[in-house]
Amino acid sequence: MQKSKVKNQEQDLGNTKQQVNKTAPAKLGVYNMQGGKIEEIDSVFGGPVNAALVSQAVKMYLANKRCGLAQTKTRGEVSGGGKKPWKQKGTGRARAGSIRSPLWRHGGVVFGPHPRDYGYGLSSKTLNGALLSALNDRALNDGILVLDKLEIASAKAKEMRAVLDNLKLKKKILLVANQHEKGVVLSSRNIQGLSLALAKDLNALDVLKASTVVLLRSSLDVLKNRLFPNAKK
């Protein structure tokens, strides 16, 4: 199951190997809540896509989501079997010490699964590199736009839906903000296909799940500091 998920996420990289000659746009459009383009800014998401790095990150995120609750009982954990079923010698039958032996029906399980933690970690440099590659891939497929600001006063889903309709966005949308605002959270939780993420917590898996990544202007600086810590300001 996990292998199929990883394969799907890797295929969702937009067939980057077939797009070697395609370049990401040098500018990102900045839109208002009415869907109008107000300006264009320089894009930082135009670099290469490291598919191997993204694959490593996706596998780690999926592994960390596993619960690892599979459990079988050993012969010492199965109820019963404390009494020797028959004497050792003289019956003509094979010797046996417990009816819960793994050789017996209803006996214990040898080398069966037990609760375990499948999680592991990668360096922040690796994870940020995977995130940058995922964003580069979305930019390569015109899947990134910048929203100047987002103000939802009444916290109703119809207001958020109106903003998405103005931007002509339908499904698999990832909205990246700098901080959680109550009106935005409440108005978006009942819209199918819309996900929210904070810029400081954004990861490659979140980006790959979305067809379009909507970045609030306030979240761009946070992402730049994460992805380009050594860049001159």
Segment 16-34, tens digit of pLDDT: 444 444 666 678 889 999 9
3-class state of residue 211 by DSSP: coil
Q: What is the pLDDT of residue 71?
A: 96
Q: Could you give the CA distance from residue 12 to residue 139 in angstroms, rounded to a whole number?
A: 13
Enter the tokens of residue 129.
């590199």
Give the DSSP letter of residue 121. Answer: -
Residue 230 has pLDDT above 60, yes or no: yes
Assess contact for 116 and 2: CB atoms under 8 A: no
CA distance 226 to 44: 12
Strands 173-177 and 37-42: unpaired
Residue-level pLDDT at 232: 58
Across all residues in the chain, what is the average pLDDT? Answer: 88
In the chain, what's the furthest Cα-to-Cα distance?
95
Which two tokens mark 231? 């860049």
pLDDT on residue 19: 45
Q: Which whole number is the average pLDDT over 175-200?
A: 90
Q: Delineate the domains of the chain, giving CATH numbers in brackets.
A: 24-48+124-227 (3.40.1370.10)
More confident residue, 104 or 44: 104
Burial class (CB in 10 A: 0-12, 13-18, 19+), 215: buried
CB contact set of 187 (below 8 Å; sequence gap of 6+): 152, 154, 155, 156, 157, 159, 160
Kindly report which listed range (42-46, 69-73, 107-111) carries the lowest average pLDDT score: 42-46
Note the pLDDT tens digit of each residue in 1-11: 555 555 555 55
Residue located via tokens 């039958």: 93
Neighbours of 151 (CB within 10 A): 10
Which two three-digit tokens encode residue 53? Answer: 């790095």
With bands split at pLDDT 50, 70 and 90, how would you rate the model's confidence at 190?
A: confident
pLDDT band, very low/low/confident/very high, at 154 (cuts 50, 70, 90) = confident
Total residues found in the chain within this entry: 233
Contacts 24+ apart (CB under 8 A), 194-197: 194/160, 194/164
Give the rounded percent of residues in the chain with a pLDDT score beyond 90. 60
Cα separation of 76 and 73, whole Å?
A: 8
